[in-house]
Amino acid sequence: MSIHHAIDAARAHREEIIFGALTGLLSCPNAPLNVPLPRIAGSSGPDLATHFGETIPQDAPTLLHLLDRCERGVEESGEFDYPTGSLLVQLGSSFRRHGLGATHYASLSEAILASIDRHIPDADGVASLKDAVELACSLLAHGAAEATENEIGAKARGEEINPPTARAKVVDVELRNPTMKVVRMHMDPPLRYAVGEALLARTPYTPMVWRPVYAALPANPDGLIEIHVSCGAGKTQHGDHLSNDFLRTVVSHAQIGDTWVLSPEPRDEDGRPYGLHLDDSQFSAETNRPILMIAESVGLAPVRAAILQQVMGGVIGATPDAAPEDVRPNGTAPTMRNVQLFWGAHNPGELYELEGMMGLKNAFDWLRVVPVANQLHTPEDSRPLPQYEVGSGNPEGSLSADDPEHAGHATLDSSVEEHPSDEVTRQIVQGDVVDVALRQARKIEEKTVIIAGSPEMISRASRELVERHNLAPQQIIELPLRFM
């Protein structure tokens, strides 16, 4: 008998088995953990979930993805290989955001087993499949219990911890163009996260879906966070329809006073940490290299957060537990790493933070910013709203048409845009951001390269850095933006 025969049989009845399992969970006698609920500004209702119907996501794409991943790790004995077992323990900790504690998994296991008996009672290998289900629920329960015990111990020792969730109240919104919004929130309690690490967000606009967002500010004790959300053409192609809805509704509906729920997600399915960890020992050889950053669209958010780490006196890419360099015992000044950022978008209107980034460049001599656009014409659906059009004035030290690194590349002129006097906008280089960065940046082989954006762009840039510039893998740090 083969457990994989039973898995194939169960896959043919997935919807029915999942429905039976969730129905059983909804009738669980134990109430969910204290899970905060998202709220529209001014709306009434409970702050905490009272039943699992308010906490279990209606998110088939994510659930099916996790099931596929776990099925690949099932061994013939009904046990899991080590990576999959570790993932289940990790998920047990993470699923507390859905109100699932260690005591709930016995009910979930019973519901799944009953559903299997109902739909595939005589399948070859079904006994081993049921053993695997019980083991999976046991590992999930262990992960939840272990995480809770660790948090209780940390609190007793007075240590800072990341809770499973935090409320995030919207304190400011800026619709930069018709498809792009900047949302600023205050988290209670503050969450600690690495630059480039996704935080999962649950909003009142799509309340039964969690999707990743990326902070444009480094973690801070005040709990302030800023995220950049775009639903323009090409921004939703990497996600499923629920991800697309998530992005569109944030841009359309986010307003001051709304409450979101955020949850940390520090590791991927293989246990690797998300985000920048440049204070890790494996990057010790990289700590003094100048940095080349290549960002695409809202991939600006994590690299902006990294830049702001150094602006605030810290270390670029340091984890939240690391102390800033400017509080070192010997009192020496922090070491400022030279940073060159190439930030690209499809058209100038999608360079939504251009003036802000140029302002940072003008304020700090270690920072250089090169904006790049595939085309110089801004279509109506990307045109900045009047209050966010780039102001006039020539930023001292910015790229100009006679800059030797800028030669041969088109810039905006009075025949293209409405603001020919806008010297900030005139600094935009036409082209593909990867091509422009690899053509203009000097001594790339001596730098650490941070790439943020779509997986496709990152893969292409990394390949060219290795093949054309002979960079070692440890010199390249990838920050892919995932939507699911």
Q: What is the CATH number of domain 166-264?
A: 2.40.30.10
- Buried/exposed code over 49-73 (b: 16+ C-beta within 10 A; e: otherwise): beebebbbbebeebeeeebebbbeb
Q: Which of 197, 202, 194, 134 is nearest to 167 (CA)?
A: 202
CA atoms within 13 A on the CB side of 81: 10
pLDDT confidence bin for 144, thresholds 50/70/90:
very high
Residue 189 parent element (H or E): none
Q: What is the pLDDT of residues 163-197, one digit of tens each?
A: 999 999 999 999 999 999 999 999 999 999 999 99
CATH topology of domain 3-35+50-156: Globin-like (1.10.490)
Q: Which of 285, 203, 207, 225 is nearest to 472 (CA)?
A: 285
- Contact (CB, 8 A) for 417 and 378: yes
Length of the chain, in residues:
484
Nearest-angstrom CA–CA distance, 230 and 117: 45
Query: Is 281-480 assigned to CATH 3.40.50.80?
Result: yes
What is the residue extent of each domain of the chain? Answer: 3-35+50-156, 166-264, 281-480
Q: What is the pLDDT of residue 416?
A: 37
Nearest-angstrom CA–CA distance, 478 and 299: 11
Which region holds residue 297: left if phi is over 0, alpha if psi is between -120 and 50, else beta?
Answer: left
* Res. 300: pLDDT tops 70: yes
Structure tokens at 69: 């991943």
Token pair 């093949």 in the structure block, residue: 467
Q: What is the pLDDT of residue 314?
A: 86
pTM value is 0.87
Q: What is the pLDDT of residue 389?
A: 52
Task: Give the pairing type, strands 339-345 and 367-373.
Answer: parallel
Q: Which of 174, 153, 350, 338 is nearest to 250 (CA)?
A: 174
6-31 average pLDDT score:
89
Q: What is the pLDDT of residues 475-484, one digit of tens each?
A: 999 999 886 4
